């Protein structure tokens, strides 16, 4: 079969991409191997995520479905005394801040809504497993070979553009050959353990910082923290992120570990969950950051987690995935109309734009972990508005802001980012990876270690 754009993965990256493409009059096929609804983690949208959903014309549907209306993020520090609050904001046409809201979403429901909506707007869903990209004679991607669900035979979907929206599976990068290498980032020694609880004590909504739908982040020590994300009137997603060594040391079952941590990780979390009642099994995922270099090329673009994952602490993932889908659409349109076909990377502009944006988030997160006090000082007393922008994922325009410059100064990264944007070297070391100079082997062109998996061994 033939289409304009084939999308591997029917999560928010894929469905948002399909809808933004449909707006440009571009046909797409979504290949998804799981049957929706399905459980997925990553349940919070930033202010920017709310904006994308609104741009897709889904605001009324979001309210109708009664997704909790998040007003901001409250971060609890190491002791009982303090918390700080970052409100969800928007910027108007004159770049003036205004208070806004966004949503917490139960992914089984939200992702299904997005998929149904993408299909309603003209995209074709094919349940099945993507096997490999089809290459044209000139080396550009010309579609994908799949195995449809319940079929022994493979099938070819011809398309001028392939979008890898496979999330952390990093389907295309793992196949090798088309993208650049996948590097480990700074955060690789943690795991996230999570479930859903009921009967929690929520704030009562008198003021924005007391709103019952807010995200709470409870910080115990470096790389050891918890999230509290309300999913409806009763159910709350609660996750514990810990160094994996700490988990192994405890020699407990996943469930026992989770339940003990709920009451030990932070006094505020214990207060909010007086009696532990789980309504979902306990899940675990490795929480490691990675970055795929050269994630765009002749006829392909990786979107969202399929090329980069930093750290889940401030819930940027789903927003970034949908936002990048929106950013990609006009580039795909001009490529389909025949532009930039002769260039080695027709989507180089899009790639650099995305990269610069996520670098802002990486610097924000690194500063939070490496310089917590200075970070809090900047949030509180220096650049509150600029940092609100970053938390809302306004990371492309009006950057670098004075806040970002301050972060980079604290991290000794002044000028480093700019320099990295000027190099064409595929093997240039991602800055986030500089925390691990011992891994230089991965970064060298002729290294025997070619991938993250090689380095880590089987997981």
Partner 1 sequence: MDEPEIKAAVKTYILNEYLPGEDPAALTDTTELMTTGILDSIAVLKVVTFLESHFGITLEPHEAVVENLNTLSAIARLVMSKKA
Residue 84 contacts partner 1 per CB under 8 A: yes
Residue 93 contacts partner 1 per CB under 8 A: no
Residue 279 contacts partner 1 per CB under 8 A: no
Structure tokens that stand for 199 in this block: 């009967």
Q: Tokens 């940027």 map to which residue?
A: 316
Residue 201 contacts partner 1 per CB under 8 A: no
Min dist. Cβ of residue 388 to partner 1 (A): 17
Please state at what angle helix 107-120 crosses helix 12-23, rounded to 10 degrees.
30
Min dist. Cβ of residue 422 to partner 1 (A): 27
Min dist. Cβ of residue 376 to partner 1 (A): 5
Q: Which of residues 398-417 bind partner 1 (CB under 8 A)?
A: 406, 409-410
85 vs 396, beta carbon nearer partner 1: 85
277 vs 382, beta carbon nearer partner 1: 382
Round to whole Å and give the CA distance between 164 and 397. 25
Q: Tokens 């309210």 map to which residue?
A: 63
416 vs 456, beta carbon nearer partner 1: 416
Residue 304 contacts partner 1 per CB under 8 A: no
Of 237, 273, 276, 281, residue with least CA distance to 104: 237
Min dist. Cβ of residue 83 to partner 1 (A): 7
Min dist. Cβ of residue 381 to partner 1 (A): 6
Of 40, 11, 109, residue with least CA distance to 280: 40
Residue 445 contacts partner 1 per CB under 8 A: no
Min dist. Cβ of residue 73 to partner 1 (A): 15
Q: How far apart are the first and last CA of the chain?
A: 36
Contacts with 98 (C-beta within 8 Å, 6 or more apart), sequence order: 89, 90, 91, 92
Round to whole Å and give the CA distance between 439 and 435. 9
276 vs 376, beta carbon nearer partner 1: 376
Residue 81 contacts partner 1 per CB under 8 A: yes
Q: Is 57 left (phi over 0), alpha (psi -120 to 50) or beta?
A: left
66 vs 222, beta carbon nearer partner 1: 222
305 vs 389, beta carbon nearer partner 1: 389
Q: Which of residues 375-394 bind partner 1 (CB under 8 A)?
A: 376-378, 380-382
Contacts with 425 (C-beta within 8 Å, 6 or more apart), sequence order: none
Number of residues that make up the chain: 459
Residue 221 contacts partner 1 per CB under 8 A: no
Min dist. Cβ of residue 77 to partner 1 (A): 5
Q: Which of residues 343-372 bind partner 1 (CB under 8 A)?
A: 371-372
Structure tokens that stand for 144 in this block: 């994908």
Phi, psi (degrees; rounded to nearest 5) at 339: -80, 150
Structure tokens that stand for 433 in this block: 């990876």
Residue 243 contacts partner 1 per CB under 8 A: no
Binding site for partner 1 (CB under 8 A): 77-84, 371-374, 376-378, 380-382, 406, 409-410
């Amino acid at each position: 079969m033939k289409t304009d754009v084939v999308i591997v993965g029917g999560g928010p990256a894929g469905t948002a991409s399909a809808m933004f493409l449909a707006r440009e009059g571009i046909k797409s096929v979504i290949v998804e191997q799981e049957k929706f609804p399905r459980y997925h983690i990553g349940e919070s949208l930033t202010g920017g995520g709310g904006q994308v959903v609104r741009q897709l014309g889904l605001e009324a549907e979001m309210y109708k479905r009664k997704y909790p209306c998040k007003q901001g993020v409250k971060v609890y520090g190491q002791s009982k005394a303090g918390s700080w609050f970052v409100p969800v904001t928007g910027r108007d046409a004159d770049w003036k801040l205004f208070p806004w809201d966004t949503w917490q979403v139960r992914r089984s429901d939200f992702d299904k809504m997005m998929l149904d909506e993408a299909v309603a707007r003209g995209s074709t869903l094919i349940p099945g497993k993507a096997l490999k990209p089809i290459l044209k004679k000139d080396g550009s991607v010309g579609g994908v070979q799949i195995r449809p669900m319940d079929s022994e035979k493979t099938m070819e979907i011809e398309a001028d553009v392939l979008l890898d929206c496979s999330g952390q599976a990093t389907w295309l990068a793992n196949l090798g050959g088309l993208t650049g290498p996948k590097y480990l980032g700074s955060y690789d020694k943690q795991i996230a353990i999570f479930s859903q609880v009921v009967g929690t004590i929520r704030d009562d909504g008198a003021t924005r910082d007391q709103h019952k739908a807010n995200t709470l982040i409870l910080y115990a020590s470096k790389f050891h923290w918890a999230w509290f994300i309300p999913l409806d009137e009763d159910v709350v997603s609660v996750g514990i992120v810990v160094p994996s060594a700490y988990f192994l040391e405890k020699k407990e079952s996943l469930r026992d570990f989770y339940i003990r941590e709920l009451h030990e990780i932070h006094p505020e979390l214990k207060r909010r969950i007086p009696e532990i009642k789980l309504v979902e099994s306990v899940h675990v995922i490795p929480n490691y950051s990675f970055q795929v270099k050269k994630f765009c090329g002749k006829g392909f673009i990786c979107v969202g987690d399929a090329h980069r994952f930093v750290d889940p602490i401030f819930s940027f993932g789903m927003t970034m995935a949908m936002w990048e889908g929106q950013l990609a659409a006009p580039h795909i349109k001009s490529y389909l109309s025949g532009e930039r076909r002769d260039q080695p990377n027709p989507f180089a502009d899009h790639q650099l734009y995305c990269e610069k944006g996520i670098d802002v988030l990486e610097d924000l997160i690194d500063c939070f972990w490496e310089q917590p006090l200075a970070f809090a000082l900047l949030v509180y007393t220096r650049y509150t508005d600029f940092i609100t922008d970053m938390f809302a994922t306004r990371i492309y325009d009006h950057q670098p802001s004075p806040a970002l410059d301050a972060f980079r100064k604290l991290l000794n990264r002044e000028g480093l980012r700019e320099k990295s944007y000027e190099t064409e070297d595929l093997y240039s070391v991602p800055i986030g990876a500089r925390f691990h100079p011992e891994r230089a082997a991965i970064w060298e062109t002729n290294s025997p270690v070619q991938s993250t998996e090689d380095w880590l061994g089987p997981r």
